Amino acid sequence: MFILVGLAVGVGPLVLGLLVSPHKPDSAKNSPYECGFEAFEDARMRFDVRYYLVAILFILFDLEIAFLFPWAVVLQEIGLFGFIAMMIFLGVLVIGFIYEWMKGALEWD
């Protein structure tokens, strides 16, 4: 029963959209990217790995902030143990940041 309900919820809106939505393609709608001009490069070109490294670093430090706010709220309750645990956590992050910096992940040509 659970699988049937899951399939109905997952596939039902797709089928309903295909049946109910208008389908009137024209040349402008079928043009590449709907931007008015042809693509000038291959969409599967290689990206520099530094884009991914910067994205990962952003996520890393964004998550660090997400952990710091609740920790700061309950710091009085968790005491010295919580403080030391967070300093170890921040130390590991700082070591990782220094490693990325030394490897040149933040350098742009």
Domains and CATH numbers, the chain: 2-103 (1.20.58)
Token pair for residue 97? Answer: 């940041």
In order along its 109 residues, the chain shows pLDDT tens digits of: 999 999 999 999 999 999 998 888 777 666 666 555 666 666 677 777 777 777 888 887 888 888 888 888 998 999 999 999 999 988 988 898 888 788 877 777 6
DSSP label at residue 1: -
Asked whether the whole model's pTM tops 0.85, one would answer no
Contacts of 89 (CB under 8 A, 6+ apart): 67
Q: How far is CA 101 from CA 24, 91, 95, 109, in A?
A: 52, 15, 10, 15
- 63-71 CB contacts, 8 Å cutoff, 24+ apart: 64/90, 64/93
Q: Is 90 helix (H, G, I), strand (E, B) or coil?
A: helix
